[in-house]
Amino acid sequence: MKDPYLFQHRNILSIEQLSKSDIFHILDTALSFKEISNRPVKKVPTLKGKTIINFFFEPSTRTRLSFEIAAKRMSADTFNIAASTSSAQKGETLIDTARNLEAMNPDIIIIRHGSSGAPGLLSRHIKAGIINAGDGTHEHPSQALLDMMTVRDHKKEIKGLTVAIIGDIAHSRVAHSNILGFTKMGADVRVAGPATFIPPHVDALGATVCASVKEAVTGADVVMALRIQKERQDDPLIPSLREYAQFYGINKSLLQHAKPDVLIMHPGPINRGVEMNPDVADGERSVILEQVTNGVAVRMALLYLVMGTQGVSS
Ligand code: CP
């Protein structure tokens, strides 16, 4: 007889580490938690007595707040620490800071860091569960999971869909996680953008590189635009934002080539009029705010599932 499925990840560092069964399980768990946020009293006792630390070295609105809301809706005690107000400013190393946090016995540490691999490094040095809230250009696994949840809400199945990801693929951890996630779930992923924004070997991740945005969006079920990650570029990689908007911005006339029921997505924050026109971002096919809503449910699921593996080594 086949062994029953067991979620075994004490740390969530990447989409790469997750199997298709893990992703289905996270998305199903998130769906079951989603209605809690619509109750008059938005709180369940599931994580009562647990301690969760949000440790953010880079700015964040959606991810930091939705992890905090998720934890509070499950009755965990949450604490926020920003690099700008921590002793990292006085030269303390990441591992020393994390060991000091661990001395206070948290159950989970959620970390966003500008260096790819920082959450993985912590996971090898401390016992608390680590959740990656975005590391450098590496991965942003909870973002890809909420994106997949949003697509599944509308399209029922991810398998067989065509997903076009447009823009700064090279510097985007969101793109990396989404390419891995959507291809794992059986979607056909296309990418397009200026040549300086297309990383070498992106096809090895399973994405098809298109010569133009029009080619990428033609027949697409999902069009996802990305923010230009200026903070990860030493020199400007595009001549001007005006030209970027003209050739790579998502507008209504471009979307005539996509499927009529195309979903428009963006991880946020949006540069309106650059990677996407306001009438598209706010239009009837946009699910951008649904992505944010689903972020709370996905993060509740991750906290719940990771907490359930305490004591498992992975
Ligand atoms: N999508 C995302 O990571 O947004 P924040 O930077 O606001 O967390």
Cβ of residue 141 lying under 6 Å from some atom of ligand 1: no
pLDDT at position 186: 98
Largest separation between any pair of C-alpha atoms in the chain? 60
pLDDT of 314 strictly over 60: no
Cβ of residue 272 lying under 6 Å from some atom of ligand 1: no
Report residue 220 CA to chain centroid gap: 21
In a shared domain, residues 44 and 148: no
In a shared domain, residues 73 and 169: no
pLDDT at position 89: 87
pLDDT of 311 strictly over 60: no
Query: Average pLDDT of 195-210?
Result: 93
Q: Of all atoms in ligand 1, which is nearest to the CA of residue 65?
A: 8
**Residue pair 130/226 in contact by the 8 Å Cβ criterion:** no
Q: Which residue has the higher pLDDT, 75 or 235?
A: 75
Tell me the CA distances in angstroms from 226 to 113, 140, 238, 258, one per residue in order: 19, 13, 15, 17
Please report the beta strands in the chain, taking only residues with DSSP state E, as ranges in sequence order. Answer: 51-56, 77-82, 108-113, 129-135, 162-166, 188-192, 208-209, 222-225, 263-265
SS3 content of the chain, % helix, strand, coil (to 5): 40, 15, 40
Provide the CATH number for the domain around residue 73.
Answer: 3.40.50.1370
Q: Enter the pTM of the model.
A: 0.95
Cβ of residue 267 lying under 6 Å from some atom of ligand 1: yes
Q: Whose CA is nearest to atom 3 of ligand 1?
A: 63
In which domain, by residue range, is 207 found?
141-288
- The answer to the question of residue 233 being in a domain is yes
In a shared domain, residues 162 and 279: yes
In a shared domain, residues 134 and 40: yes
Report how far ligand 1's centroid is from the alpha carbon of 140 (Å).
Answer: 9
**Residue pair 262/285 in contact by the 8 Å Cβ criterion:** yes
In a shared domain, residues 209 and 168: yes
pLDDT of 313 strictly over 60: no
In a shared domain, residues 43 and 91: yes
In a shared domain, residues 164 and 277: yes
The structure tokens listed for 311 are 């004591």
Report how far ligand 1's centroid is from the alpha carbon of 146 (Å).
Answer: 12
pLDDT of 63 strictly over 70: yes
Q: Of all atoms in ligand 1, which is nearest to the CA of residue 133?
A: 3
Cβ of residue 120 lying under 6 Å from some atom of ligand 1: no
In a shared domain, residues 164 and 258: yes
Cβ of residue 172 lying under 6 Å from some atom of ligand 1: no
- The answer to the question of residue 13 being in a domain is no
- When divided into structural domains, the chain yields a total of 2
In a shared domain, residues 209 and 280: yes
- The answer to the question of residue 58 being in a domain is yes
Q: Whose CA is nearest to atom 4 of ligand 1?
A: 62
Report how far ligand 1's centroid is from the alpha carbon of 186 (Å).
Answer: 26
In a shared domain, residues 88 and 128: yes
- The answer to the question of residue 6 being in a domain is no
| Mean pLDDT of the chain, nearest integer | 94
Query: Average pLDDT of 303-307?
Result: 98
Q: CA-CA distance, 76 to 46, in Å (whole number)?
A: 8
- The answer to the question of residue 2 being in a domain is no
